[in-house]
């Protein structure tokens, strides 16, 4: 049986860095021939890693009362707000934010997303399934696990910063440094809110719904730019 101390130091703390390390390889250090394999491997790993620690997690993690209806409502409203703001910013400042599409087009080729159907299928996977995996990994496992040693606020800050870190790497492949910092920080703030929502409602449904709506609008904008 794993102790809570071992869970924290050998399960939770390393989990802060896995996605960033994965992004480093499949987005920056890798060529097109292996990007897809490395990407899939990273996603499988972040699904499996918490399962390895499941017995200790169920024993050690704080227990929260689930308020499912409240979680879904707040998740939908926050996701809708993020969606509307993202669309507004895109329509108002499209040319300034994305002056050059070459980086986006190159990565689409690397991942085999140059055909509309492939892009739509990948977008559905990313928005619905991958967002759920990230909420399970970042909010249930990492954020909740950090509270074994940290206050919930400190756990929120640390977990959200780690959540944002791999997004900084991904965004740097498409945007100049200023916009990379801006958008990456906004991702971190979204992660902060999803931690807060999970803490207050005890349910992942709201954070997942908000996250999924956010990914849908981002991938929708990507479709408009590519096709």
On the question of pLDDT at 40 being above 90, the answer is no
Q: How many CB atoms lie within 10 A of CB 110?
A: 20
Domain chopping of the chain, boundaries:
4-226
Q: What is the pLDDT of residue 165?
A: 96
- Residue pLDDT, tens place only, 55-78: 888 888 878 888 999 999 999 999
The reported pTM is 0.93
The 8-class DSSP code of residue 111 comes to: T
Q: How far apart are CA 14 and CA 202, in angstroms?
A: 24
Q: Are 3 and 10 in contact (CB under 8 A)?
A: no
> For a pLDDT cut of 70, what percent of the chain falls above it?
96
- Residue pLDDT, tens place only, 117-172: 999 999 999 999 999 999 999 999 999 999 999 999 999 999 999 999 999 998 98
Q: Are 139 and 50 in contact (CB under 8 A)?
A: no
Q: Dump the DSSP string for 29-60.
A: I--HHHHHHHHHHHHHHHHHHHHHTHHHHHHH
> For a pLDDT cut of 90, what percent of the chain falls above it?
70
Q: Dump the DSSP string for 142-189.
A: IIHHHTTTS-HHHHHHHHHHHHHHHHHHHHTTTS-HHHHHHHHHHHHH
- Residue pLDDT, tens place only, 183-204: 999 999 999 999 999 999 999 9
């Amino acid at each position: 049986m794993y102790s809570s101390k071992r869970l924290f130091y050998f399960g939770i703390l390393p989990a802060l860095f896995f996605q960033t390390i994965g992004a480093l390889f499949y987005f920056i250090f890798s060529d097109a021939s292996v990007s897809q394999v490395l990407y899939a491997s990273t996603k499988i790993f972040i699904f499996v890693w918490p399962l390895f620690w499941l017995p200790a997690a169920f024993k050690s993690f704080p227990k929260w009362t689930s308020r499912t209806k409240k979680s879904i409502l707040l998740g939908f409203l926050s996701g809708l707000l993020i969606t509307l703001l993202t669309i507004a910013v895109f329509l108002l400042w499209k040319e300034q934010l994305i002056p050059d599409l070459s980086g986006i087009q190159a990565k689409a080729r690397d991942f085999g997303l140059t055909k509309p159907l492939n892009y739509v299928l990948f977008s559905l996977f990313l928005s619905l399934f991958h967002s759920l995996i990230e909420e399970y990994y970042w909010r249930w496992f990492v954020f909740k696990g950090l509270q074994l040693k940290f206050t919930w606020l400190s756990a929120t800050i640390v977990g959200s910063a780690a959540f944002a870190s791999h997004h900084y790497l991904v965004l740097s492949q498409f945007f100049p440094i200023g916009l990379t910092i801006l958008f990456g920080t906004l991702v971190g703030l979204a992660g902060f809110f999803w931690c807060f929502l999970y803490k207050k409602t005890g349910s992942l449904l709201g954070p997942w719904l908000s996250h999924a709506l956010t990914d849908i609008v981002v991938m929708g904008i990507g479709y408009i730019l590519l096709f």
